[in-house]
Chain A
Amino acid sequence: MSDPVLLINVLLLLLAIGAALAAMWTRDLLGAVMLMGIYSLLLAIEWANLFAMDVSYTEAAVGAGASTILLLTALTRTGTREKAGPNFHPTALLTVLVTGAVLIYGTSDLPRFGDPLAPATVHVAPEYITQTVGKVGATEATENDFGDHVPNAVTAVLASYRGYDTMFETAVIFTAGVCVIIILRPLAGSARRRTAGSKEDA
């Protein structure tokens, strides 16, 4: 445990697990949303610690920012107390345990973190890296695929080498937005009918 980076990683992950457990156990939904925000922020620091800056950005912006606000907005319409009932669901626990066990079993086949002999490191990564990284200000003769405009390999992979993936990801996000509009439009448009319906429920 003399490695300070490892120590920070373990501490961050323990804090994240603690935040996730607390979010599960609390009855106060407002508190649970805040705890999930803290959880995302801790994971964002953890990603930064693993040098995955782009993932860290996304986790901080989406996990801790946008989704927290989205859940808070939803809470203003639903109330902030969880319904009374058992806090322990055996089937859910079993599902999570089985899925977790399968995932952990799957990681045993993965190469070690940062293994220089891993297939991804010896197969495609060198090609990506030689074409894009660290060539700012190179001469015309040694120019890479992107004319030295794209030193960030992650962006090069996302937008160019894996352009199809990113295009369909964008299409998925667009579809999600369209679905939200379709599902929530009648609800927003007929406020009178909704209040009448909620009176019937009560």
Chain B
Amino acid sequence: MSESVVLRTIGGMLFPYILVYGLYVQMHGEIGPGGGFQAGVLVAAAFILHSLLFGKELTDRLLPTWLVDLSMSLGVLLYIGVGIVGLVKGSYFLDYSVLDPTHPAHAEALGMTLVEAGVGLTVASVILTMVRKVNGEPA
């Protein structure tokens, strides 16, 4: 936890903006540079900054460990789940176009958005977990 008032004030002001920027990179990944991986790292960085400035306990209350562990596996499951939907609907694995039979092109974009969300979830929670565990937080 940082003792410096300047660091805590500026960091506290920056925290939501880093989060929103991470979400922007996530949502905007199809149009601009970025995507799930970059967004995940940004979101994780926001929470790491939060824990450096305000202490591990507060961040833990904001984002409990079980939730991070859960979203870590949920991300991969979301990715594989989208792939399996393709299989169930009678096409090949990871064929997004069957998600919306009336408009395959839109379904492709939808599938990519879902898949990127899965990547983002996993990356954010894995990086957060790594820093937390190395920091010696009780499991």
CB within 8 Å of B: which residues of A? 53-54, 56-58, 61-62, 65-66, 69-70, 73-74, 76-77, 143-152, 154-156, 158-160, 163-164, 166-167, 169-171, 173-174, 176-178, 180-181, 184-185, 187-189, 191
Contact = CB atoms under 8 A, between A and B. Distances in A.
B41 interface: yes
29 contacts: A54-B35, A57-B25, A57-B34, A58-B37, A58-B41, A61-B42, A66-B127, A70-B134, A145-B105, A147-B108, A149-B105, A151-B31, A152-B29, A152-B31, A152-B33, A154-B33, A155-B30, A156-B30, A163-B94, A167-B80, A167-B94, A170-B119, A174-B75, A177-B126, A177-B129, A188-B133, A188-B137, A188-B139, A189-B138
B135 interface: yes
A26 to B, nearest CB: 22
Nearest to A136: B31
Contacts of B139: 181, 185, 188-189
A159 B35 contact: yes
A155 B1 CA distance: 38
Interface in B121-139: 122-123, 125-127, 129-131, 133-139
B34 A173 contact: no
Contact of A74 (B75, B111, B126, B134): B134
B126 A173 contact: yes
Contact of B72 (A53, A167, A177, A188): A177
Contacts of A169: 119
Q: At the interface, is chain B mostly helix, strand, loop or mixed?
A: helix
A54 B28 CA distance: 12
Interface in B70-125: 72-73, 75-76, 79-80, 83, 94, 96, 103, 105-106, 108-109, 111-112, 115-116, 118-119, 122-123, 125
B30 A152 contact: yes
A163 to B, nearest CB: 4
B30 A66 contact: no
B38 A187 contact: no
Contacts of B106: 147, 149
Contact of B109 (A74, A147, A171, A189): A147
B23 interface: no
B53 interface: no
B33 A61 contact: no
Interface centre among B34, B75, B106 (most CB of A within 10 A): B34
B116 A181 contact: no
Given A65-B45, A143-B105, A167-B79, A187 B126 contact: no
A156 B125 CA distance: 24
Contacts of B115: 159, 163, 166-167
A184 B38 CA distance: 26
B111 A160 contact: yes
